Amino acid sequence: MTDTVYGPVTDWATDFDHGAPEYNANIHEIWDNLKASGCPIAHTERYGGVWLPLTHDLVKEIAYDPSRFSSLTPVVQQLKPSQVRELDPDALGAPIGPVPPISSDPPFHADARRILLPAFSPKQIDPWRKEVEEICNKLIDDMGDADIIDAAVQYTQHIPVLVVAQMVGLPLSDADRFRGWVDMVLGGIGAERNEERMAQFEAMDAYLTKHIEDHIENPRDDLTTYLLNSEIYGEKLSPRHVFGTILLLIIAGIDTTWSGIGSSLWHLASNSVDRRRLVENPEKIPTAVEEFLRAYAPVTMARMVTDDMEFHGVHMKKEDRVLLPFPAANRDEKQFANPAVVDIEREENRHAAFGLGIHRCIGSNLARLEMNVAIEVFLKRFPDFELDNSEQVTWSTGQVRGPRNLPFRINVRA
């Protein structure tokens, strides 16, 4: 095993740490400094060797090239895939990967993805609008008449988990537990693989295994039963495949959208002109949501290099990981006019918040619905709010970026 590098970052161009809290807290400044220093692809020896391309062209080229850049490791954590296999010989390898289809490569990927796509098409997702509205209104009712609220803790973090739990058929009363998994899997990527962390993973595995077994005995009208009944190449999906996909839906469906809603509300709390414009013209919310998705895209994905190669002047080694920072691509001045300016009426906006190429976020229609409704309801109930500066705004760690504490002062209720 290679030595693992821990400790403070010395140089963001040659020693970056995407799992360090200061990365997400200062992300735009870090990217701007890297680009200004003429560094289109940063590197780190941490996590066994990772590359960080920063332009739209590079991100797109990598996303479109699954043969040289495998999706086996969508999250860059401390262990390389070969090290994971040493510890768990049964782990699903390429082209399926541990959490299909996000971890899958062609040709398996398209077949696994096709099973899920119908459940997430716009016409299947639109009917969830009323349910999301009710969830959002209830969360605001529960805040009572407090002048100071934490919009992340009391609002944004609850919305996606309640929808995803219903779709997958998990008890809503365990929502806190699912958010804990998200924090462990995505937030804790820089953590050491110690006994405590392993015990948490084992508890998650045991819970989900029980959930699946219960659905085998008592089939229901939900995605778990649907997956258990689905076939690929004429055979039922393997138990590991079903397990991985359910884990994916829970993990990927929760803090991504929670982050997207949170960053949007953070922007509106910090920009009273934009807030007033949307309160007075709610029909502008969908265009504004696209701009929030561009400017504050929550998700950075990752790929694994399949063989030693030269790539735009750098020497990549087999099993190196490559981060795909779609949020950085969204701020590329070659692709977007005035990319640093958040213009909520930007009409031409081919942002890559949901990825590019074959792995486009399968939940994008649901995420957009939740973001639109959550912002609509919040502005309707709280037409005037601002950041409460007595408390800190805090940001997540890891490849999904969004606020985890949003102290707001509510000035007007409707």
Partner 1 sequence: MRVHVDSSKCQGHNRCYALAPELFDVDDLGNAFELNDGVVPAALEDKARLAVANCPEFAITIED
Site map 250..289 versus partner 1, x via CB under 8 A: ------------------------------------x---
Smallest separation (angstroms) from partner 1 to the CB of 122: 5
Nearer to partner 1, 164 or 269 (CB): 164
- Binding of residue 345 to partner 1 (CB under 8 A): no
DSSP-assigned beta bridge partners for residue 50: 44, 321
Residue with tokens 């262990």: 79
Out of 2, 82, 106, 122, point to the residue binding partner 1 (CB under 8 A).
Answer: 122
- Binding of residue 413 to partner 1 (CB under 8 A): no
DSSP for 137-186, written as a single string: HHHHHTTTT-SEEEHIIIIITTHHHHHHHHHHT--GGGHHHHHHHHIIII
Region from 93-101, 208-216, 342-350, 391-399 binding partner 1, contact rule CB under 8 A:
342-350
Report phi then psi at 162, rounded to 5: -70, -30
Out of 28, 138, 312, 350, point to the residue binding partner 1 (CB under 8 A).
Answer: 350
Nearer to partner 1, 51 or 120 (CB): 120
Identify the three-state secondary structure at position 323. Answer: strand
- Compute the distance between CA of residue 97 and CA of residue 193 in angstroms, rounded to an integer: 20
- Binding of residue 365 to partner 1 (CB under 8 A): yes
Smallest separation (angstroms) from partner 1 to the CB of 255: 21
Site map 97..116 versus partner 1, x via CB under 8 A: -----------------x--
- Compute the distance between CA of residue 182 and CA of residue 136 in angstroms, rounded to an integer: 21
Locate 414 and state its tokens.
């409707």
- Binding of residue 121 to partner 1 (CB under 8 A): yes
Nearer to partner 1, 115 or 175 (CB): 115
Q: How many residues does this entry show for the chain?
A: 414
DSSP state of 304: E
Smallest separation (angstroms) from partner 1 to the CB of 364: 6
Nearer to partner 1, 105 or 290 (CB): 290
Smallest separation (angstroms) from partner 1 to the CB of 230: 14
The phi-psi region of residue 38 (left if phi > 0; otherwise alpha if psi is between -120 and 50; otherwise beta) is left
- Compute the distance between CA of residue 369 and CA of residue 159 in angstroms, rounded to an integer: 11
Do 140 and 381 contact (CB within 8 A), yes or no? Answer: yes
Residue (of 358, 198, 350, 381) closest to 282 by Cα position: 381
Out of 26, 349, 394, 405, point to the residue binding partner 1 (CB under 8 A).
Answer: 349
Smallest separation (angstroms) from partner 1 to the CB of 56: 10
- Binding of residue 354 to partner 1 (CB under 8 A): yes
Nearer to partner 1, 30 or 329 (CB): 329
- Binding of residue 317 to partner 1 (CB under 8 A): no
- Compute the distance between CA of residue 106 and CA of residue 68 in angstroms, rounded to an integer: 12
Smallest separation (angstroms) from partner 1 to the CB of 351: 7
- Binding of residue 364 to partner 1 (CB under 8 A): yes
Please give the residues from 368 up to 397 whose contact with partner 1 meets the rule CB under 8 A: 368
Do 112 and 104 contact (CB within 8 A), yes or no? Answer: yes
Region from 68-76, 145-153, 235-243, 343-351 binding partner 1, contact rule CB under 8 A:
343-351
DSSP for 80-133, written as a single string: -HHHHHHH-TTS--TTT-SSTTTT--TTHHHHHHHHHGGGGSHHHHGGGHHHHH
Alpha helices in 316-402 (DSSP H): 326-329, 364-381
Report how many residues bind partner 1 under the rule CB under 8 A.
23
- Binding of residue 352 to partner 1 (CB under 8 A): yes
Out of 144, 347, 392, 414, point to the residue binding partner 1 (CB under 8 A).
Answer: 347
Nearer to partner 1, 152 or 366 (CB): 366
Do 274 and 267 contact (CB within 8 A), yes or no? Answer: yes
Q: How far is CA 285 from CA 275, 279, 280, 379, in A?
A: 10, 9, 10, 10
Smallest separation (angstroms) from partner 1 to the CB of 118: 5
Nearer to partner 1, 158 or 359 (CB): 359
Interacting residue ranges for partner 1, rule: CB under 8 A:
114, 117-118, 120-123, 286, 290, 347-352, 354, 356-358, 360, 364-365, 368
